[in-house]
Every structure is written in C-alpha cells, then in structure tokens.
A = this chain, B = another copy of it.
C-alpha cells in the first residue's frame, strides 16, 4: 500500500467546533482513500460527536486528546503563552513531530498564525507567513496573497509573497510560468505607495513571470494568476468581494420575487440560478494556506460548514502530495542566490 497523507485537524476550532470538523473529516475520508486524519481536541466531545455520526475511531481516523480550546476572540499572544494544550497547538505540534504531514484549523486566525510560526518556524529567507486563497476568475481561478496575516508589509515581504504565490501556482496548477501581478491603484510606474513601487522594481529583475501592476478589477478578469498585496488590502478586497456577491444574490432573489410572473420565471430558471450559485459558492474555495512555514497549515473559514471544511482538508492533501514547503524553499534559495550574484 502506498503511503497515506496524514492530516491533523484542530477539531475544536471555528464557530462550530467538533459539530462541523467531525462530519467534515468523515466526508473527506470517504472522498479520498489516500488520507489519514487525526482529530485533536477533547476526547469525550470527539467520541460523542463520532457516535452521533454513527462512526468510530479506526485505522484512518484517530483521536488525539487536547484539554484546551483557543477562543475565537482570544488575543494571539495570550493563546500562545497560556494554552499549551489547546487543540490548535497540539494539532500543529503533531506536524512538527512528524506525526502529521499537515494541519487544518478553523480557529482564530491570529492565534493560528502566531502558533504555527512559533512551533514550525519560517523557511529561511521568509520573514513572515502569508495567507493565500484561490478565487474564481473569468477564465478559471486566481491565487491572492496576503489576505490578512500582515498588516504592514515591506517591499521585501511583498517580493517574498510573489515568490511563494508563484511557486504555489506552479505546484497546484502545473503552470510553469504563472503570471504574477502586484496590486496597485493604477498601472503606471509612478502610481502607488513606496513599498509597492519598490517591490515592483525587485520583481522586474526577478526570474518570475511578473506582468506588472494590476488593479482591483484585474483580480477577476483572468489576466493574472497570482495577485500580490499586503494583508490589509488583501483582506479588504476579499471581504468586499464577499459582501458584494451576497448583495447581488439578494438583488437577484428580490427581482425574481417581485410578482407572480417573475416568481414563476424564477422557478423555471432555478437550475440556471443554482448553477450560477455553484460557481460563486465560496465553500469550494475554502481553505487558505499559511505560506512560508516549515510545514503545511491550512486555515478554514471560522464559519465553514462540513462541505467547506472538507474542502480545506483536501487542500492540505494536495499540498502534502506536492510537497509545497520544500518547493518554496528551493525557489527562495535559488532566487536569493540569483539576487546576491547580480
């Protein structure tokens, strides 16, 4: 039998904790026979949830007890210092100890970042982790980073994000030269703040397929594969998109509910509208990678449901299969040596 991918799950994290993580784990095990999962959290809670689902621990699904839980609003520094036996911390420990190949958590983002960084350490040459996710675009999808791990980013950090995002797109999509764009307020070289301009100059000289500055609307045009920005901007762009998509869905619903005729049309058009909804379904994009760590950590949306969390587990699976951290490490090393040589 070929080696299975082992993934530890912070089974108490997120808005719904075990009630979502346990059924998501069972779903992922059904979907992928090459994975093994470790549910990390309060043993009695996890046993009860498994029973409720008509399942039991076994060869491919183990329970690993952890007595504490990091709360969603808890300050990261406090969680790191005080909760050494939290489900989040222990799930990450399993990665460091080689007991798991990746970890998935829907918990407090700040605490997850701080803990992952403390336990797993950064890859050499990377200052800070970046959060990245995949978004739909006009002709496929786009990778965007950072999405909120870093509030103020230096130009060097933006450059590191670009390298990591490019490797990610190559590894995940099999694209040997993904187009990398730097998010800015205009496409002319004179526009933007100092960090973005300086990062642009570094990228011009890099061996990445850097296409220059892109603007907010370019995220969705399909003209770029990797969009690089600081975490503040990325977080605002991502959440603005979520809010607008929700509003447009609501408008569409209202228009079809306007009168009996439009209601009938809405009913007839239901398969079309469902198909649209599927394409915009954020659950199929759930699972943000924390890049730059010596290990794989996937952040699920706090409010993720079973389908969404199972998708995040699959992202962990893909990154293990592709050995993403080692690939980033190799690329960073080669780019740093190129820059020193030049």
| Chain A residues in the interface with B (C-beta under 8 A) | 73, 75, 136-138, 148, 151-152, 183, 185, 188, 190, 192-193, 215-221, 229, 231-233, 235-248, 250-252, 255-256, 258, 262, 265-266, 268-269, 271-273, 275-276, 279-280
Interface pair B229/A280, CB less than 8 Å apart:
no
Q: Which residues does chain B contribute within 8 Å of A242, judged by CB atoms?
A: 216-217
Q: How far is the CB of A258 from chain B (nearest CB, A)?
A: 8
Nearest neighbor of A274 in chain B, beta-carbon distance: B255
Q: List 11 A-B contacts (CB under 8 A).
A: A185-B236, A216-B239, A216-B240, A216-B242, A218-B243, A221-B243, A236-B237, A240-B240, A251-B279, A255-B276, A258-B272
Within the assembled complex, what's the spacing in Å between the Cα atoms of A233 and B243? 16
Q: Which residues does chain B contribute within 8 Å of A245, judged by CB atoms?
A: 244, 248
Interface pair A251/B268, CB less than 8 Å apart:
no
Interface pair A241/B265, CB less than 8 Å apart:
no
Within the assembled complex, what's the spacing in Å between the Cα atoms of A271 and B220? 27
Partner of A232 from B137, B185, B246 at Cβ < 8 Å: B185
Q: Which residues does chain B contribute within 8 Å of A193, judged by CB atoms?
A: 151-152, 232
Q: How far is the CB of A120 from chain B (nearest CB, A)?
A: 23
Interface pair B246/A236, CB less than 8 Å apart:
no
Q: How far is the CB of A206 from chain B (nearest CB, A)?
A: 23
Q: Which residues does chain B contribute within 8 Å of A192, judged by CB atoms?
A: 151, 232
Interface pair B215/A239, CB less than 8 Å apart:
yes
Excluding A73-B188, A185-B236, A216-B236, 11 further A-B contacts by CB distance (< 8 Å) are: A151-B192, A216-B242, A220-B244, A233-B233, A237-B240, A240-B240, A241-B241, A244-B245, A255-B279, A258-B275, A265-B272
Q: Which residues does chain B contribute within 8 Å of A136, judged by CB atoms?
A: 247
Nearest neighbor of A218 in chain B, beta-carbon distance: B243
Q: How far is the CB of A221 from chain B (nearest CB, A)?
A: 6
Within the assembled complex, what's the spacing in Å between the Cα atoms of A232 and B192? 8
Q: Which residues does chain B contribute within 8 Å of A151, judged by CB atoms?
A: 185, 192-193
Q: Which residues does chain B contribute within 8 Å of A269, judged by CB atoms?
A: 256, 262, 265-266, 269
Within the assembled complex, what's the spacing in Å between the Cα atoms of A272 and B138? 23
Q: How far is the CB of A290 from chain B (nearest CB, A)?
A: 16
Partner of A265 from B220, B235, B265 at Cβ < 8 Å: B265
Partner of A250 from B138, B243, B256 at Cβ < 8 Å: B138
Q: How far is the CB of A141 from chain B (nearest CB, A)?
A: 12
